[in-house]
Copies of this chain bind each other. A is one copy, B any other.
Amino acid sequence: MISEVIKELASYVNSEIERLLSYGEPEGLYRAARHYLMAGGKRLRPVIALLSAKALGHDYRRAIYAGIAIETIHNFTLIHDDIMDEDEMRRGVKTVHTLYGIPTAILAGDTLYAEAFGILAKSEAEPVNVVRAIGKLARVCVEICEGQYMDMSFEERNDVSEEDYIEMVRKKTGVLIGISASIPAILFGEDEKIERALWNYGIYSGIGFQIHDDLLDIAGKDKIGKDWGSDIVEGKKTLIVIKAFEQGIELETFGKGRASREELEGDIKKLFDCGAVDYARKKAREYVELAKSQLDVLPESPARTHLRELADYLIKREY
């Protein structure tokens, strides 16, 4: 079971996170910086890096600094995104700025950002490859900022197309998974064809992952969760909504900030009835299939199988 593989690798990741990201002084800064990181999580990005190292025939432990650097970047983006989106809760815990205030939350993210590059610089690999990996991670971080900016600006635009959405999601979510999968190829000096295939595996998986995430907002199991339908009332231009708007569907609660359960159910029914939900499901599946096909350049191995299964897992998870 892929979920067991993920759990086992995640437990190794967690022990290394505790070793590499200890609590420094001033205490208040580090408490804020470690808030999400120590609250757990599936560690999907470092797990992908470790599986990718294995699939390339290396000891997966040699990719651990890279994996944790990427997880640290991921956590920095969560802290800053929560400030920008004014979110008060994240997966059952209060957001960093809600607990510690915006100035401390900005600094907490900034601290993780630097720590990530510091950790990556410790990688056990040829220095010339480490420098390339750092350059690539820097580029990825710039693209994440571009993606987040696009996401914010979509809320004020009425002409967002499917293409715009995919480009936004590629940057906001795809590239960090892309580098998770390809960074072992960079560090171990694999040829460019392999690196590009793993990069694309991550990009396509990431797009599928994000579309699935959007689906969970309205079609998730836990319909009594207080966040159910929150993308709609917040006016997020998800693929589902874009497809519905293309057909002239009007949503009563879209961007209204708040809505009754009845109003929301009415709107969500429209999204199902017009086929937008099915369309998004089909697209998520297509991207994941495209991701898996990239792995054909690698020799058959248990790790390669796990990477395929992991891509499937990304669009099956229910939370």
Which of the residues B135, B145, B152 comes within 8 Å of A110, measured between beta carbons? B145
Kindly list chain B residues whose C-beta atoms are within 8 Å of the C-beta of A132: 121
Is there a chain B Cβ closer than 8 Å to A230's Cβ? no
Which of the residues B84, B103, B118, B148 comes within 8 Å of A84, measured between beta carbons? B103
Query: What are 16 A-B pairs at a CB distance below 8 A?
Result: A25-B146, A80-B106, A83-B103, A84-B102, A84-B107, A114-B139, A115-B138, A116-B138, A117-B134, A117-B141, A118-B135, A118-B138, A118-B139, A121-B134, A121-B135, A127-B130
**A122: nearest chain-B partner, CB-CB:** B135
Interchain nearest-CB distance for A276 vs B (Å): 26
**A107: nearest chain-B partner, CB-CB:** B145
Is there a chain B Cβ closer than 8 Å to A111's Cβ? yes
How many copies of the shown chain assemble into the complex? Answer: 2
Is there a chain B Cβ closer than 8 Å to A14's Cβ? no
**Contacting residues of chain A (131-158) with chain B, CB-CB under 8 angstroms:** 131-132, 134-135, 137-142, 145-146, 148-150, 152-153
Interchain nearest-CB distance for A21 vs B (Å): 11
Q: Give the secondary structure class of A's interface.
A: helix
Is there a chain B Cβ closer than 8 Å to A219's Cβ? no
Which of the residues B26, B140, B153 comes within 8 Å of A26, measured between beta carbons? B153
Q: Quick one: given A28-B153, A149-B26, are A113 and B135 in contact (CB under 8 Å)?
A: no
Interchain nearest-CB distance for A29 vs B (Å): 4
Is there a chain B Cβ closer than 8 Å to A104's Cβ? yes
Kindly list chain B residues whose C-beta atoms are within 8 Å of the C-beta of A148: 107
Kindly list chain B residues whose C-beta atoms are within 8 Å of the C-beta of A104: 149, 152
Q: A114 near B142 (CB under 8 angstroms)?
A: yes
Kindly list chain B residues whose C-beta atoms are within 8 Å of the C-beta of A116: 138
Q: A138 near B121 (CB under 8 angstroms)?
A: yes
Interchain nearest-CB distance for A88 vs B (Å): 16
